Structure 1
C-alpha cells in the first residue's frame, strides 16, 4: 500500500508575513502634554519628521489615540518606556 502526500511550499515573504509580530505602541490623548512636547518626543525618539509628528499629534487630539509604532514586543516595549519617561500616555496592544 502506498500513501501519497502533497508537499506545500511557501515563499520567504509568506512565512515572514505570518510570523510577524503585531505589537503596537499607542499614544493617547491627555490633558497634560502640549503639542510641542509630543511632537518633540516623536521626532527625537522615533525619528519621525516634523510633518509626520504634527499629523500624529493632531490625530491623537482629534481621535483620542494613534498607533505610533508596530513591531516586536521588545522594540515596542523599549519605546513605551522611553515615551512614558517623557510623560506621554502610552500603552501596547
Structure 2
C-alpha cells in the first residue's frame, strides 16, 4: 500500500503560533476492534502529518497499550484533526 499522501493540516510551529504551556493539549487515539492497521496508518499520515514510520509506531502502541498520544498542540490546532479522525470512525479525544 502506498502512503504518500499530502497532510490535511500544517504543523503548528510552521505557522509560528506560540502555545503557552497551560494551553498545550494532546490528541489521543484509542484502540478498537473495527479498523485495520493500514486504515489507521493511512489516517495518521493524512490527518496528523505523520511519517510512515511514526504512524506505524503509533498504531502498534495503540494496539498493545490501548491508546497513544498522536499529536500535541493547542486545542484549536488539534480540534479539526480530532473531528476528522472521528468522522473516519476512529476513537479520538483531546485532553
Would you call these one fold, judging by a TM-score over 0.5?
yes
Return 5+ residue gaps in structure 1 as ranges.
1-15
Q: Identify the residue that residue 65 of structure 1 maps to in structure 2.
A: 67
Using the size of structure 1 for normalisation, the TM-score is 0.77
Residue deviations 1:6-39 (CA, integer Å, cap 9, x gap): xxxxxxxxxx78x232211100000111100000
Q: Identify the residue that residue 32 of structure 2 maps to in structure 1.
A: 30
CA distance in 1, matches of 2:94, 2:83: 11
Give the CA deviation at 1:85.
0.8
**2:73 corresponds to 1:48:** no
Using the size of structure 2 for normalisation, the TM-score is 0.75
- Larger-Rg structure: 1
4+ residue segments displaced more than 4 Å:
none
Q: How many residues align?
A: 77
Q: Secondary structure at the match of 1:36?
A: helix
Return 5+ residue gaps in structure 2 as ranges.
1-17
